Amino acid sequence: MIAASFADIFFNNCCRNGILPVVLEEAQIRTLRQAVEDTVGFRLGVDLTRCEVNAPSGERFQFNVPEALRTNLLQGVDEVGATLAFVDEIRAFEQARLADRPWL
């Protein structure tokens, strides 16, 4: 999804659902819109590794994406999956904390 801006809640919900919200400048969006209208079979590429949108004309538009979201999308995991990657460390922390503070 490409837009000039997204409301914070919408942006965060997209991220939680594995959807990449790409923010581009208005002029860049106009360029892409014109290319869609002018090009039969228009195909747009989004390179998450390089954080750029690639138009068939060869134009490339850079975008920013939070690193955690980028990593999760590239690895195909959500926030829970990313957390589960640290399950051994979490268990070790819980055991150490229980030993240190048994009343908790």
pLDDT of residue 10: 97
Check which CATH number belongs to the domain holding 27 and give it: 3.20.19.10
pLDDT of residue 104: 78
Report the number of distinct structural domains present in the chain. 1
The dihedral region occupied by 41, where left means phi > 0, alpha psi between -120 and 50, and beta the remainder, is left
Q: Report residues of the chain scoring pLDDT below 70.
A: none
pLDDT of residue 41: 84
pTM, entire model: 0.74
For 20-48, how does the pLDDT look when each residue is reduced to its tens digit (9 = 90+)? Answer: 999 999 999 999 998 888 888 888 899 99
Distance CA 67, CA 33 (A): 28
